[in-house]
Amino acid sequence: MGIIVAKFGGSSLADASQFRKVKSILFADPDRHFVVPSAPGKRDSDDIKVTDMLYTCYNMVSAGKISLFEETFAMLKTRYLEIIEELGIDLDFTAPLATVHDELLSGASVDYAASRGEYLNGMILAAFLGWEFIDAASYIFFDENGQFDAEKTQELLSKKLKDTSYAVIPGFYGCNPDGSVKTFSRGGSDVTGAIVSRAAFADLYENWTDVSGVLMADPRIVKKPKRISVITYRELRELSYMGASVLHEEAIFPVRMAGIPINIRNTNAPEDPGTMIVRADASHVRGAITGIAGKKGFTAIAIEKNCMNREIGFGLRVLQALEECHVPIEHLPTGIDTMTVVVADSNIAGSIDAVVEKIRATCNPDHIEVITGLSLIATVGRGMVRYPGTAAKLFGALADAGINIRMIDQGSSELNIIAGVESVDFERAINAIYTAFTK
Ligand code: ASP
């Protein structure tokens, strides 16, 4: 007997038939004690998420467009009432809907507005399951600076959950020190799921969505990529940073701290094992990679100076130039006489000339070149660490495909090899790497 926290995303709770799937998943294992729902998501690609409707409601009230507010609110109301009616739950939703309506109309905050999607959905789910409803605003706290207050939350929420056997805790929001509602950033129900898992001292955090786990590469680039069965938190972080969208970025920290594994599962295919995200895993195949992710839109500033390594403070002055222009750096591959700074286009737009000028003035380089139109590709895998041959395979695959590598960076963790290629080669490069490691 253990404790499982199950978070269900918006598409898993988009209508009554999805609610039924959720119920049968929850009731299939009595260890599933706590459930964290999102607001109803899209039923099809043309549909509107309830959270988006709520943001519209807020914007319409702010703009004084009351009839448009009423129209949107009526749509939202219909979505909830349809779910209740189709599920046949004995729940009078008139009062909760009226309260939300009146609060919005009288100028409630944008966070209050957005949070009501999860709040109302949580009430319906609790009634459908016959479980207790725990309002997240009473147990998830933010501090004076608007940061999540992990300590206070852990203390009060764990006390509450210890005395609760089965409950629904809506995702996405908590409360400010003054008691007003505050949301996490978009997709934040993942974070709530992680916080609840830690507070419940859970053995497993299940994150139910509409895909059967994390894929080795973006399916829009690689045709039918394989599913990753096990990935470590660190690998996932590397892949997510490079563009793989799996979980909300902040959802990893609370469970990672507590060493609770995350299982990404598919509500529409509950028999699929999904992907396990764990702290460490020894079962990996030597030399195998876990996944590939990449992003377009980078610029490299390549600086050359004879014997720069002997010049104390050279690197510092390069970085100072970027700091003074408020440009964060992504990567910093260095050679004996070269140092390259890779930055995201979005961060350096408009200040590239100023940065180059500053580096020229303070570092007096022999040569400085700005390379634009770069893409970065991260090949990530705990199986690569300390096993020779991975880099050769990777670069061999790119060479065989006739792809010019403009930059290489292997972090000291040896978990990740970053290759910079021209953006025109981006998709081909990812396919070449994927094929080399999966054939
Ligand atoms: N409903 C919120 C959103 O759409 C939070 C979530 O679904 O995780 O961003």
pLDDT at 257: 87
* Arithmetic mean of pLDDT, 66-75: 98
Query: What sign for the dihedral angle of Cα 332, 338, 344, 346?
Result: positive
Atom of ligand 1 nearest to the CA of 184: 5
**Count of CB atoms within 10 A of residue 201's CB?**
13
Q: Which of 172, 207, 247 is the best mutation target for the ligand 1 pocket, counting ligand atoms within 8 Å of the beta carbon and taking the most? A: 172
Is 193 near ligand 1, meaning CB less than 6 Å away? no
Q: How much is the pLDDT for 287? A: 77
Helix (H, G, I), strand (E, B) or coil at 349: coil
Question: Is 213 near ligand 1, meaning CB less than 6 Å away?
Answer: no
Task: Tell me the per-residue pLDDT of 21-55, one tens digit each, with 9 for 90 and over.
Answer: 999 999 999 999 999 999 999 999 999 999 999 99
Section 351-360 average pLDDT: 95
Tell me the CA–centroid distance for residue 391 and ligand 1, in Å: 39
Average pLDDT for residues 71-82, to the nearest whole number? 97
184 lines ligand 1 (CB under 6 A): no
Best residue for ligand 1 mutational test, from 11, 110, 186, 191 (most atoms within 8 Å of Cβ): 186
Q: What is this structure's pTM? A: 0.89
Assigned token pair, 45: 């690609």
The more confidently predicted of residues 149 and 383 is 149
The whole-number average pLDDT for the span 76-99 is 97
Q: Do domains 4-210 and 291-438 have the same CATH topology?
A: no
Pocket of ligand 1, candidates 11, 49, 196, 246: which has the most ligand atoms within 8 Å of its Cβ, to mutate? 49
172 lines ligand 1 (CB under 6 A): yes
Give the model's confidence band at 198: pLDDT under 50 very low, under 70 low, under 90 confident, else very high.
Answer: very high
The domain segmentation of the chain, as residue ranges, is: 4-210, 291-438
Task: Point out the ligand 1 atom lying closest to the alpha carbon of residue 248.
Answer: 8
Q: What is the mean pLDDT of residues 172-189?
A: 97
Average pLDDT, the chain: 94
Give the confidence band of 297 by pLDDT, cuts at 50, 70, 90: very high
224 CA from centroid of ligand 1 (Å) = 27
Whether residue 37 has its Cβ less than 6 Å from ligand 1: no
Q: Quick check: CB of 50 below 6 Å from ligand 1?
A: no
Confidence band for 246, pLDDT divided at 50, 70 and 90: confident
Please state, in angstroms and as integers, the Cα–Cα distance from residue 280 to each residue in 4, 276, 390, following that order.
20, 11, 20
> Would the pLDDT of 14 be above 90?
yes
Position 190 scores a pLDDT of: 96
Q: Is 262 helix (H, G, I), strand (E, B) or coil?
A: strand
Q: Is the CB of 117 under 6 A from ligand 1?
A: yes
Q: How do residues 113-170 score in pLDDT, each as one tens digit? A: 999 999 999 999 999 999 999 999 999 999 999 999 999 999 999 999 999 999 999 9
What token pair was written down for 201? 């001292």
CATH number of 291-438: 3.30.2130.10
Q: Determine the pLDDT at residue 58.
A: 98
Burial of 334 (0-12, 13-18, 19+ CB in 10 A): middle
3-state secondary structure of 230: strand
Between the CA of 370 and the centroid of ligand 1 the distance, in Å, is: 39
Q: In the Cβ-directed half-sphere of 410, how many Cα atoms lie within 13 Å?
A: 12
* pLDDT band at residue 249 using 50, 70 and 90 as cut-offs: confident
Cβ of 171 below 6 Å from ligand 1 = yes
pLDDT at 390 > cutoff 90:
no
| Class of 4-210 in CATH | alpha beta
pLDDT band (50, 70, 90) for residue 290? very high
Residues of the chain above pLDDT 90, percent = 84
3-state DSSP helix/strand/coil % of the chain, to nearest 5: 45, 20, 35
Q: How far is the CA of 38 from the centre of ligand 1 (A)?
A: 6
The predicted-structure confidence for 208-234, as pLDDT tens digits, reads as follows: 999 999 999 999 999 999 999 999 999
Q: Is pLDDT at 387 greater than 80 in this prediction?
A: no
- Nearest atom of ligand 1 to the alpha carbon of 39: 1
Q: Is residue 426 pLDDT above 70, yes or no?
A: yes
pLDDT at 412: 66
Mean pLDDT calculated for residue range 104-116: 97
Predicted confidence (pLDDT) at residue 10 exceeds the cutoff of 90: yes
Ligand 1 contact, 39 CB (< 6 A): yes
**Identity of the residue numbered 429:** A
- Rounded Cα distance, 18 and 14, in Å: 6
Any ligand 1 atom below 6 A from CB of 189: yes
In three-state secondary structure terms, 369 is strand
Q: What pLDDT sits at residue 408?
A: 87
pLDDT score for 410: 79
CA distance 10 to 121: 10
For residues 322 and 329, the answer to whether their CB atoms sit within 8 Å is yes
The alpha carbon of 189 and the centre of ligand 1 are apart by a number of angstroms equal to 6
